Amino acid sequence: MLNSFQVVWFKRDLRITDHEAILQASASNLPTLFLYIHEPEVFKSVHYSFRHERFVWESVVELNQYFTSRKLNFISVEMSAKTCFNQLIDLGLKEVYSLEEIGLEVTYARDRELKGIFKNAGVLWHEYPYSGIRRGLRNRKDFNAYWYDYMSNVIPEIQWSSFESIIQAEAFPVQEFPRLMEKPEVEGIVQNGGYLKAWQYLNSFTQKRVSKYMQHISKPEESRKSCSRISPYLAWGNISLREVFQSQYLAGQNSPYKRNMRQFASRLRWREHFMQKFESECEMEFVSVNRGYESLDYKNEDANYERWKKGKTGFPLVDACMRCLIATGYINFRMRAMLVSFICHHMNQSWERAANYLSGLFLDFEPGIHFPQIQMQAGITGINTVRIYNPTKQAQDQDPNGEFIKKWCPELKNIEVPFIHEPWKLTALEQQMIGFELGVDYPEPMLDLKVTHKDARDRLYGARKSPEIKEEASRIIEKHTLGNR
Ligand SMILES: Cc1cc2nc3c(=O)[nH]c(=O)nc-3n(C[C@H](O)[C@H](O)[C@H](O)COP(=O)(O)OP(=O)(O)OC[C@H]3O[C@@H](n4cnc5c(N)ncnc54)[C@H](O)[C@@H]3O)c2cc1C
């Protein structure tokens, strides 16, 4: 047994600034252990993948370097939180500091179990709100006022010198979160984790890349540079939303791109608007927020699902977006919406199928945005306009020269505009002349957009007339919207 000590527990908040749990722990006199637990139970969820673990690992390595340089105790272990905390309790753990998590059921269940363990052992668990999101919020009447107030507050600086180290640190579990991530994805293609990277992305955006933000936001190729790309850093907590909000505000004062910066700032608020929805109704991980849509029938046909997953649908922009996402972990908002629209509307497959596959691909997977957005794009909230994207029109609008398509579907590289967007319109002779054979080099389109568009519209607008869906829509408006709808 060591002398009494306290733990600051990192979860999806892998940073050392604007961190309320660290700040509050610094005011206590107990020696402190900083802890990251890599929980196999959490990462075996269908929603997580190797790319998330790698990003987290990179972030944890950076934290380790920081704490080592300050001669403070930091450990990263790979085991269940329950096993870890039971060991720490035996060693003299008295208090735990952490941020609330807007997470999956698996982490919520873990927290419920830990509450019991801490209570029995007399350990105090201090939890602090995650950014501008509040537990137990019943409606959105004061959401904006509270949120702007929180975002504008001065960020308190952490006094690291107030932390006392633990003398007999060798007693701690040494089962380190060990994998050196043997198979790194190609450097620079998938973003790398850590707070230093987060600030690099943010600064290069607010100083320069913001200049074409709104012009490029919907374009799959250009958005990769002109959007901030801050999302994985927010998702894993390498930077706080308040830090991003205040940085953009300061940069915006002297920026010639004030309008773009304002648009960016409003998306930061959307982020927490969505996360608050999920915090208030986390059942969304498993059921439609509008329960009336639970009885909707889906085709859920496997062969086509596999084609969508691999980027082999025969629709060039859909396939290019999926392949790009598989390779890089990122695609912009409009193309995410189109991918979901394609599977849910045109293919008539369930929103869960979309959610379960895409979460593992999005490096920025954030449960609080992911589930509400997927359901919204799948047209099953009953309160939003149903958008059934035509992938050919999207391709013509957002990738008019087909550059993005050719980059990710090289088998189409010899096809020029306008056929690059509709290769099925090439005649046999034209195909022969460019050495391309539809159905051999690239799949024939797997469905007829005109038919599937009409079916989807009839299905979704038909369902909207159901009294249960209408009743649920009123409940959702009351609970989750700002009151100005
Ligand atoms: C089906 C679907 C699923 C999505 N799942 C996720 C997810 O798991 N994680 C995630 O971070 N975003 C998700 N988004 C929202 C959005 O696509 C990404 O936040 C954005 O593309 C990230 O790129 P960026 O940081 O360059 O965005 P920017 O345009 O630079 O925006 C800055 C930040 O604002 C927030 N933001 C931007 N757009 C939205 C939006 N529409 N809704 C909520 N917040 C927004 C994000 O935190 C983003 O990082 C999803 C969108 C759709 C349509």
pLDDT digits (tens, 9 = 90+) for 23-53: 999 999 999 999 999 999 999 999 999 899 9
Mean pLDDT of the chain: 93
Cα–Cα dist 296/378, whole Å: 12
What H or E segment, with its residue span, contains residue 125?
A: strand 124-128
Distance 232 CA to ligand 1 centre (A): 9
The pLDDT, as a whole number, for residue 180 is 47
Atom of ligand 1 nearest to the CA of 268: 34
- Segment 137-163 shows an average pLDDT of 92
Q: What's the gap between Cα 383 and its chain centre?
A: 23
User: In the structure, what pLDDT confidence band is assigned to residue 1 with cuts at 50, 70 and 90?
Assistant: low
Atom of ligand 1 nearest to the CA of 235: 11
- Segment 170-191 shows an average pLDDT of 63
Cα–Cα dist 370/160, whole Å: 35
336 in ligand 1 pocket by Cβ < 6 Å?
A: yes
Condensed to tens digits (0 to 9), the pLDDT of residues 73-114 reads 999 998 999 999 999 999 999 999 999 999 999 999 999 999
Distance 46 CA to ligand 1 centre (A): 20
Torsion-angle region of 329 (φ positive above 0: left; ψ -120 to 50: alpha; else: beta)? left
Atom of ligand 1 nearest to the CA of 358: 3
223 in ligand 1 pocket by Cβ < 6 Å?
A: no
Which one, of 166, 484, 422, 135, lies nearest residue 276 by Cα?
135
State phi, psi for 10 to the nearest 5 degrees.
-90, 135
Q: In what order do the strands lie in the sheet with 5-10?
A: 73-78, 32-38, 5-10, 93-99, 124-128
User: In the structure, what pLDDT confidence band is assigned to residue 480 with cuts at 50, 70 and 90?
Assistant: confident
Longest dimension (CA), the chain: 83
State phi, psi for 92 to the nearest 5 degrees.
120, 15
pLDDT at 417 > cutoff 80: yes
Distance 250 CA to ligand 1 centre (A): 22
Which one, of 331, 456, 314, lies nearest residue 388 by Cα?
456
Which one, of 71, 97, 90, 78, lies nearest residue 36 by Cα?
78
Kindly provide the b/e burial profile for residues 198-230, where b requires at least 16 CB atoms within 10 angstroms of the residue's own CB.
bbebbeebbeebbebbeebbbbbbbbbebbbbb
The pLDDT, as a whole number, for residue 202 is 98
**Which of 162-166, 212-216, 224-228 has the weakest average pLDDT?**
162-166
Q: Considering only CA atoms, give the Rg of the chain.
A: 24
- Segment 12-25 shows an average pLDDT of 98
332 in ligand 1 pocket by Cβ < 6 Å?
A: yes
Protein residue with its CA nearest to atom 53 in ligand 1: 337
Task: Show the domains of the chain with their CATH numbers.
Answer: 5-128 (3.40.50.620), 195-276 (1.25.40.80), 291-478 (1.10.579.10)
Cα–Cα dist 179/141, whole Å: 46
pLDDT at 178 > cutoff 70: no
Torsion-angle region of 320 (φ positive above 0: left; ψ -120 to 50: alpha; else: beta)? alpha
Residue to mutate (ligand 1; options 242, 271, 325; most atoms within 8 A of CB): 271
Query: Which amino acid, 462?
Result: G
Condensed to tens digits (0 to 9), the pLDDT of residues 341-353 reads 999 999 999 999 9
Condensed to tens digits (0 to 9), the pLDDT of residues 277-322 reads 999 889 999 999 899 888 888 999 999 999 999 999 999 999 999 9
Cα–Cα dist 98/32, whole Å: 13
32 in ligand 1 pocket by Cβ < 6 Å?
A: no
The pLDDT, as a whole number, for residue 485 is 53
State phi, psi for 159 to the nearest 5 degrees.
-90, 90
The pLDDT, as a whole number, for residue 188 is 55
User: In the structure, what pLDDT confidence band is assigned to residue 137 with cuts at 50, 70 and 90?
Assistant: confident
Distance 164 CA to ligand 1 centre (A): 39
